[in-house]
Amino acid sequence: MLTMKTLILPIDPTAPDPTAIRQAAVVLQHGGLVAFPTETVYGLGANALDAEAVQRIFAAKGRPAYDPLIVHLAGPEALPAVGVEIPPLAETLAAQFWPGPLTLVLPRGPRIPLAVTAGGPTVAVRVPAHPVALALIRAAGFPIAAPSANRFGHLSPTQAAHVLDDLEGHIDMLLDSGPTPVGVESTVLSLVTPVPTILRPGGVSRESLVAVLGQVDVSGHVFTAEEVVPSPGALEQHYAPRARLTLYQGSRQVVLQAMHAAAVQLVAAGQRVGLLLAEGDAVAFAGLSVTVQSIETAGGLEGAARQLFTALRALDRAGVTAILARDFGARGLGLAIRDRLTRAAAGNVVKVG
Ligand code: TXA
Ligand code: MG
């Protein structure tokens, strides 16, 4: 594929420099690709109304054309302009959660190119809660289609360096605002099903959706490539690190014991073992020759979500051949973390007492 020079512009996350924003908007207006921060992860943006520009996203990511993109708007008032009708439920949700990490799947509007929706009758839309993303959409003057700014199947980028690792030379510009504050991708909620259905758990918790909607389904099934894929991101083995990952679920003590036993065996077999733990867990592995990444769990799972992908990338970079990861429960952001780790494990999940 064609390589180009990627221009990197550092930009303040709270008060973005209008000149840098204008420069990025011009790239988008010419059909180019700009990686930019959102509150969840970095996105790889193109003009959502320009089918050719949208095709470039798929090429740069190595993403199959059957996987549709999220359209990012500056506000819900932009929906009618692209022909997307807002059902009453979407209005309620938008009032409550936008700007923020909630993506709504709605019937596609006529101005949305089929390249964006992978030929499908629905479109995913969201209003990101990041000053840089919002300023960029406004300056561009059109909605921005953006998947996470990683090679297809890799971990989503929560820092500019992650974007460069995957896409340097394949994108025109990168706006670097430092680490993204949420760290896991948006919750994808379908409003075209009889009951609103979470297709991908993410930054807005199931509990907070239930509080507003009363009833929410979670498509609990992890789809394989052979099956019909309601949300193609729900493909197994998405979000994968390079090393083989095993996820341990159960009560903390039993999980740590099982992980310890497995680590001892793997090390004895000559494997280089990486552990994904919560702060405070590492003492259970003292004396073992393993690489540890501990993520923050004090006072809720916000810290853990923010650090998750950076920790997994760090284990990959350390050259480990096997990753043992613990589960963080299903409450709040725990569900999104469990979802990403389950996919990274490609079904390799150990359930203990
Ligand atoms: O937080 C996020 O959502 C980030 C930032 C950049 O906004 N974006 C992101 O995009 O994670 P991506 O493309 O990596 O994941 C979007 C997910 C995929 O699982 C895709 O299959 C699903 O949303 N999706 C997109 N359009 C859809 C549609 N019309 N119906 C069902 N699922 C859809
Ligand atoms: Mg992605």
Percentage of the chain with pLDDT > 70?
Answer: 93
Instruction: Report pLDDT for 228.
Output: 42
Determine if ligand 1 sits within 6 Å of the CB of residue 150: no
Q: What is the pLDDT of residues 205-239, one digit of tens each?
A: 999 999 999 999 998 544 333 444 455 555 545 66
Output the CA 157–ligand 2 centroid distance in Å.
9
Determine if ligand 1 sits within 6 Å of the CB of residue 199: yes
Determine if ligand 1 sits within 6 Å of the CB of residue 332: no
Cα 186 to Cα 209: distance, rounded to the nearest angstrom: 13
CA angle 254, 257, 261 (to 5 degrees): 140
Non-local CB neighbours of 104 within 8 Å, separated by 6+ positions: 90, 93, 94, 124, 125, 126, 189, 191
Residues of the chain with CATH 3.90.870.10: 7-218
User: What is the arithmetic mean of pLDDT over 182-202?
Assistant: 96
Residue whose pair of structure tokens reads 């003057």 in the numeric block: 141
Instruction: Report pLDDT for 2.
Output: 58
* Ligand 1 closest atom vs CA 238: 19
171: left (phi over 0), alpha (psi -120 to 50) or beta: beta
Instruction: Report pLDDT for 233.
Output: 54
The third-level CATH classification (topology) of the domain covering 244-351 is Rossmann fold (3.40.50)
Determine if ligand 1 sits within 6 Å of the CB of residue 149: no
Cα 71 to Cα 123: distance, rounded to the nearest angstrom: 8
Determine if ligand 1 sits within 6 Å of the CB of residue 146: yes
Residues of the chain with CATH 3.40.50.11030: 244-351
If we measure between CA atoms, which residue out of 185, 208, 209 comes closest to residue 197?
209
**Smallest-distance ligand from the CA of 124:** 1
In the predicted structure, residue 240 carries a pLDDT above the cut 50? yes
The single-letter code of the amino acid at 86 is I
Instruction: Report pLDDT for 210.
Output: 95
Instruction: Report pLDDT for 83.
Output: 86
CA 37 to chain CA centroid, nearest Å: 12
Instruction: Report pLDDT for 232.
Output: 55
Cα 336 to Cα 56: distance, rounded to the nearest angstrom: 29
- For a substitution probing ligand 1, which of 185, 239, 333 has the most ligand atoms within 8 Å of its CB? 185
Instruction: Report pLDDT for 221.
Output: 46
In the predicted structure, residue 136 carries a pLDDT above the cut 50? yes
Output the CA 340–ligand 1 centroid distance in Å.
14
Determine if ligand 1 sits within 6 Å of the CB of residue 40: yes
Q: What interhelical angle do 302-317 and 160-167 show, nearest 10? A: 40
Give the mean pLDDT of the chain: 93
Non-local CB neighbours of 131 within 8 Å, separated by 6+ positions: 13, 14, 15, 16
Determine if ligand 1 sits within 6 Å of the CB of residue 131: no
pTM for this structure? 0.95
Q: What is the pLDDT of residues 154-180, one digit of tens each?
A: 999 999 999 999 999 999 999 999 999
Contact by Cβ (8 Å): 193, 317: no
Cα 163 to Cα 149: distance, rounded to the nearest angstrom: 6
Output the CA 292–ligand 1 centroid distance in Å.
31
Q: What is the pLDDT of residues 53-83, one digit of tens each?
A: 999 999 999 999 999 999 999 999 999 988 8
Output the CA 12–ligand 1 centroid distance in Å.
26
Determine if ligand 1 sits within 6 Å of the CB of residue 68: yes
Non-local CB neighbours of 24 within 8 Å, separated by 6+ positions: 9, 34, 36, 136, 139, 173, 175
In what helix (H) or strand (E) does residue 211 lie, and over which residues does it extend?
helix 206-213
Output the CA 146–ligand 1 centroid distance in Å.
8
Q: What is the pLDDT of residues 267-293, one digit of tens each?
A: 999 999 999 999 999 999 999 999 999
Instruction: Report pLDDT for 241.
Output: 80
In the predicted structure, residue 26 carries a pLDDT above the cut 50? yes
Determine if ligand 1 sits within 6 Å of the CB of residue 127: no
- CATH number for 7-218 (one of 3.40.50.300, 3.40.225.10, 3.90.870.10, 1.10.606.20): it is 3.90.870.10
Non-local CB neighbours of 45 within 8 Å, separated by 6+ positions: 28, 33, 34, 35, 36, 57, 72, 136, 144, 145, 146
Name the least confident of 85-94, 237-246, 302-311.
237-246
